[in-house]
Structure 1
Amino acid sequence: MDLKDHIRAIPDFPKPGILFYDISTLLRHADAWQVAMGRMARAVRPHHPDLVAGIESRGFLMAAPLALKLGCGFVMLRKPGKLPGGTIGLDYALEYGSDRIEIQADAVQKGQRVVVVDDLLATGGTMAAAIRLLQNIGAEVPAAATLIELSFLRGRERIGVPVESLVSYDT
């Protein structure tokens, strides 16, 4: 199955000049969704994760069912103020400004293997920050995984760990 057949491209969203890859069409197609999760599980399983970390918010849609398929735990990487209890965060630069990503302080034990998952890899800034945050708290990050990679933006080069992507767009 060609997963690209189930991903809708929407021009000029959320602003003019942006081509948005909408995964809602894949998510609502039961067979395509099953195939995508099966392929992602096969790609990630060799990295032997103890946990799968999903990046807010569409990354949760990939990471939670992936963790379930792999028989491991799921943790959330979120924007500031969204997680209860104590958190640890990391500020990082974006092309135009900055952002912050946080994790619950007790979510990962030192030495646990955590694969970071998001729906899309573009410039790699958020993914790289997520990996740094996890490494800062003692996690081993053997890989990252995405449903979609915009390879022309070369985000993979910023990541520093192997990246597993199910589909790639060159333009």
Structure 2
Amino acid sequence: MAMQTCGRSFGMAIAIHAIVRAPLAPFSDAGGMAVCGIESRGFLPGGAAALELGVGFVAARKAGGMFRGEKLARKTEPDHRGIRHSLRIQRASLDQGDRVLLVDDWIETGSQALAVWDLLSAVKNFQTLDRVVPALHRLRRLTSAA
């Protein structure tokens, strides 16, 4: 049901605008940043967020997608279906010191968001504007220690 509702929302311009604009309010004056979206559904809100903020877009692609040039890659932990994905970003899409906002349409286990965070962190002086992924890292540490 949630997937159908989310899918329908992406087909309605007013819903897209509301879904994208409201969470971006804290970042509207961030400047000097990029938005990263995770393939495939994360490309929709991620691309829309980049357009709304007037910044660049960094695609985090799954294995098999066409991508030229040097890539950084990470394997995810198993997702809610037990599947491990290989995620990649183009090295040329990021520079040292870039600030990146990670956007996706949902986070079930956080495995893909955490893998992309690790990819982005491989870039020296990477800065994040995201508050969810650090919380996922803390939650993982707490639950694995229990």
Q: TM-score, normalised by structure 1?
A: 0.68
Once the two structures are superposed, the pairs formed by residues 1-171 of structure 1 within 5 Å of their partners are 9=1, 20=3, 22-45=5-28, 48=31, 50-82=33-65, 83-94=67-78, 96-138=82-124, 139-143=126-130, 157-159=135-137
Matches of 2:127 and 2:134, distance apart in 1:
18
Aligned partner of residue 114 in structure 1, secondary structure: strand
Matches of 1:47 and 1:129, distance apart in 2:
24
Percent sequence identity is 26
- 1:98 CA displacement: 2.7
Matches of 2:106 and 2:41, distance apart in 1:
9
Aligned partner of residue 94 in structure 1, secondary structure: coil
Q: TM-score, normalised by structure 2?
A: 0.79
Amino acid at match of 2:72: I
How many residue pairs end up in the alignment?
Answer: 134
- Which has a greater percent of strand? 1
Matches of 1:118 and 1:77, distance apart in 2:
10
- The higher-RCO structure (CA 8 Å, 6+ apart) is 2
Tell me if the contact between 1:127 and 1:159 (Cα under 8 Å) persists in the aligned partners: no
Amino acid at match of 1:55: I
Please list every run of 5 or more consecutive structure 2 residues that lacks an aligned counterpart in the other structure: 139-146
Tell me if the contact between 1:77 and 1:130 (Cα under 8 Å) persists in the aligned partners: yes
Please list every run of 5 or more consecutive structure 1 residues that lacks an aligned counterpart in the other structure: 1-8, 11-19, 146-154, 161-171
Q: Pairwise CA RMSD of aligned residues?
A: 2.4
